Amino acid sequence: MFYNSQKAHLVSLTKYFFMKFILFDKSEVLFFVVFLFVVTSCRDTNQVKKSIGITKTSFINPDFNYKSYIPKESDFIISRTDYADKLYGFWLGQCIANWTGLITEMDKIGNIGEIRTGDFYTRENWGKPDEPSIWGQGVPSNLSDNIDFVFRGEDEVWGADDDTDIEYMYQHLMFTEKTTVLTGEQIKKGWLKHIKSEEENYLWVANQKALDKMEEGYLPPETSNPEITTDSIYNNYYEMIDAQLTTEIFGFFAPSRPDVALEMAKLPIQTTARENAQWISEFYVIMYSLASKVDQKLSKKEQIFWMASKAREHLPDDSYSAKMFDFVKSKYDENFSWEQTRDLVYLRYQVNQEDGYNMTSKNIYCNGCFAAGINFASSIVSLLYGEGNLKETIKIGVLSGWDSDNPTATWGGLLGFMYGIKGVEETFGRVFSDKFNIHRTRRNFPNNGLDNFSNMAKKGIFIVDRVVQNHLKGGIDLNKNIWYIPVKK
């Protein structure tokens, strides 16, 4: 952005040279065109540098031994510079979507059981007053009076939430432990160090149960074992949403190689999830990994649909998660509106309990509004109907219902990665804060928990370096700043 004085000066110059043009003084006009191009180009370049804050030198990890590599013709090549930009876009897009989704979190969950929330939101509710959530005690969100985007300006700080903080923690653990696959012991150590036991610790349902079990001495994946997690509240903690909002980032650590991303994400996912909840989480990991492989010549809509179709192949055909995806996709193909499809999802899965989804019969709190299944179905509504449009996807996700900040954050992060920092800022027509406070929800991180997206993106790059060289046996060219990633055999 220009400062106001710079804007005014350029406006004056423009008027002056326009008069020159009228008077046929072409040489001075040509000079001005060149001058304007240089000034605006410098502005754009400076803005990108300001946003990314990463130079070629800073891409070298002093604690990593970069080895020489002879590229193969079949290697998939990715620019580390571009990838850093995309990782920045991921964190920014996720924060925008997460905080916007928090306005409507648990506002609308249906009308079954003791908690009834009336009609679901529709497109007409965007920009209109927010309604109280199921735990709001009759008071709407304190984030915004109306359902609208939540932003943080350049002088403000994004706060961590449960949609960003566990991913931040896993990235920190992989970086500090210098590993590509976390062990159960490393996960436990990280959770106990960075997550408070006492409230408010921003953990719910399966995440809280996993922490409880770690404090008792259990290691993942036993922390999701129903034989030891069942209590008077739930006998199916492993079916809750938690893993699908804490592990998507592993897809970005193995660009273009979802097979490796799934290997890396397996234990973090199984910390809280099994069966359908695990498969759903893996669906998201695959989407994130494929975001660097999808044909960039396709439109954003085409890219999203290709990635989703590939991720769908991973879901067992007889699972309710697969049937949920297929059901939502069929309604999209039949030109149902997103509101109609969302309402049919509620009717099919919570009212009629079809396709093996029997959460309602369990008579648990809020009719399983935290469950992986119903929130996955809702997420596919916003994914498909959003058609790769960042703003539209967030809007639909926010209005779809249930745990609305979680699916919205997932897709905001994915699309933020696909758009990159410049694309996100151009979409909203503004510059955002790059500052992030992990200590809003977690503890014991460097610099009293204050970080920034450039540094977070750089750590992601260094993790991918280790994955590419040590795990995939590929190569890194520091001069060209690219990765050579072997294709799956």
Tens digits of residue pLDDT in 413-469: 999 999 999 999 999 999 999 999 999 999 999 999 999 999 999 999 999 999 999
Residues whose CB falls within 8 Å of the CB of residue 233, separated by 6 or more in sequence, listed in order: 364, 365
* pLDDT tens, residue by residue, 261-313: 999 999 999 999 999 999 999 999 999 999 999 999 999 999 999 999 999 99
Predicted pLDDT at 230: 97
Tokens standing for residue 452? 């920034």
* Type of residue at 294: V
Q: Share the mean pLDDT of the chain.
A: 91
Query: Which two structure tokens, joined as six digits, stand for 121?
Result: 């939101």
Question: CA-CA distances (angstroms) from residue 469 to 56, 67, 488?
Answer: 19, 8, 15
Tokens 């679901």 belong to 120
Per-residue pLDDT reduced to its tens digit, 205-264: 999 999 999 999 999 999 999 999 999 999 999 999 999 999 999 999 999 999 999 999
Can you give the pLDDT at residue 3?
Answer: 35
Q: What is the pLDDT of residue 45?
A: 40
105, 229, 245: which is closest to 169 by C-alpha? Answer: 245
> What tokens appear for 43 in the block?
């502005």
185 burial type by CB count under 10 A (0-12 exposed, 13-18 middle, 19+ buried): exposed
pLDDT category, 54, cuts 50, 70, 90? low
Most confident of 2-6, 37-41, 384-388: 384-388
Query: Where is 477: in which H helix or E strand?
Result: strand 475-477
User: Where do we find the tokens 């809003």?
Assistant: 440
Give the 3-state secondary structure of residue 57: helix
Inter-residue contact 207 to 288 (CB < 8 Å): no
pLDDT of residue 480: 96
pLDDT digits (tens, 9 = 90+) for 359-418: 999 999 999 999 999 999 999 999 999 999 999 999 999 999 999 999 999 999 999 999
- pLDDT at position 44: 45
Sheet with 158-159: list strands edge to edge. 158-159, 435-437, 450-452
State the pLDDT confidence band at 7, using cuts at 50, 70 and 90. very low
Rounded to whole angstroms, the Cα distance separating 429 from 453 reads: 19
341-345's contacts with Cβ under 8 Å and 24+ in sequence apart are: 341/381, 341/385, 342/120, 342/378, 342/381, 342/400, 342/401, 343/120, 345/374, 345/377, 345/378, 345/381
Q: What pLDDT does 57 receive? A: 63
What pTM did the predictor assign? 0.90
pLDDT tens, 177-188? 999 999 999 999
Q: What is the DSSP string of 243-286?
A: GGGTSGGGGTTSTT-HHHHHHHHHHHHHTT--HHHHHHHHHHHH
**pLDDT value of position 137:** 80
Distances (CA, A) of 274 to 242, 271, 406: 11, 9, 19
Q: Residue 263 corresponds to which tokens in the numbers above?
A: 């290997």
Instruction: Name residue 175's amino acid.
Output: F
Q: Where do the domains of the chain lie?
A: 4-52, 76-485
CB 454 within 8 A of CB 54: yes
Nearest to 434 by CA among 54, 148, 55, 170: 54
Helix, strand, or coil (residue 23): coil
pLDDT for 49 equals 39
**Model pLDDT, residue 136:** 83
- List, for residues 78-100, the tens digit of each pLDDT value: 999 999 999 999 999 999 999 99
Fold of 76-485: ADP-ribosylglycohydrolase fold (1.10.4080)
What per-residue confidence (pLDDT) applies to 6?
A: 42
pLDDT classification of 23: cutoffs 50, 70, 90: very low
Residue 27 has pLDDT above 80, yes or no: no
β-bridge pairing 482-485 and 435-437: unpaired
Kindly state the tokens that stand for 185: 């012991």
